[in-house]
């Protein structure tokens, strides 16, 4: 039995299907969807029309995306506000929307997360206290933590580790070091 011929899809239908396939994989920002549609050679007018409609009905919501991204990446990967802001910017989230989502993280929570990351890494760390200190501060810097937060978290963790590490930690002036090396770490 022969199937009747399928009529060709309109550009709008094609754009909607592309968006839904993209959104089935993971939530996406409006900018990410627009980029995919442009790569598939969908016209700017149709991109705007489809994305406006998806915005209207709540299928895409950059503010909700940003809040979920911040929560997930902070708790899952331990990323700090600066790293999260960069990731949101790369995904095309508006700066005001990103700032609002980042406000959900407070300084105390960020410091606690930094300390938890250091404690976890410190269990397997080998080397002199100085080597461990530099390695752990570097790890936190790569995750976007400000120099002062990183240095204090590592200093406190080293002080609690053992006598040799505590002696080394006592010699560290976290505030002075953060001021001195802040440009290099941030």
Residue 9 sits at the vertex; the CA angle it makes with 6 and 11, to the nearest 5 degrees, is 170
Predicted structure pTM score: 0.80
CB–CB of 163/169 below 8 Å? no
DSSP 166: H
Report pLDDT for 169.
Answer: 73
The confidence score (pLDDT) of residue 45 equals: 96
- Give CA angle at 177 (173, 183), nearest 5°: 165
Sequence-distant (6+) residues with CB within 8 A of 104 are 67, 70, 71
The whole-number mean pLDDT for each consecutive block of 10 residues of the chain, a chain of 186 residues, reads 74 94 93 96 95 94 95 94 96 96 92 95 89 94 94 89 75 68 49
- Residue 32 · residue 91 · CB < 8 Å: yes
The secondary structure of residue 6, as a DSSP letter, is P
Give the contacts of 28 (CB within 8 A, at least 6 positions apart). Answer: 22, 36, 60, 65
Contact 79, 90 (CB under 8 A): no
The end-to-end CA distance of the chain, in Å, is 68
How much is the pLDDT for 160? Answer: 84
Q: Tokens 């592309």 correspond to what residue?
A: 18
What pLDDT is attached to residue 186?
43
């Amino acid at each position: 039995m022969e199937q009747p011929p399928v009529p060709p899809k309109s550009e709008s239908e094609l754009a909607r299907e592309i968006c839904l396939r993209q959104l089935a994989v993971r939530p996406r920002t409006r900018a990410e969807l627009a980029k995919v549609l442009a790569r598939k050679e969908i016209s700017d007018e149709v991109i705007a029309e489809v994305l406006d409609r998806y915005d209207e009905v709540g299928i895409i919501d950059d503010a909700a995306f940003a809040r979920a991204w911040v929560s997930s990446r902070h708790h899952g990967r331990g990323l700090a506000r600066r790293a999260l802001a960069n990731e949101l910017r790369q995904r095309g989230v508006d700066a005001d929307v990103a700032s609002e989502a980042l406000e959900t993280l407070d300084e105390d929570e960020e410091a606690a997360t930094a300390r938890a990351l250091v404690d976890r890494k410190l269990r397997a760390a080998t080397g002199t206290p100085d080597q461990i200190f530099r390695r752990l501060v570097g790890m936190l810097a790569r995750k976007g933590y400000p120099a002062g937060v990183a240095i204090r978290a590592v200093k406190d963790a080293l002080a609690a580790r053992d006598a040799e590490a505590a002696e080394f930690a006592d010699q560290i002036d976290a505030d002075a070091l953060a001021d001195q090396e802040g440009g290099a770490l941030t």
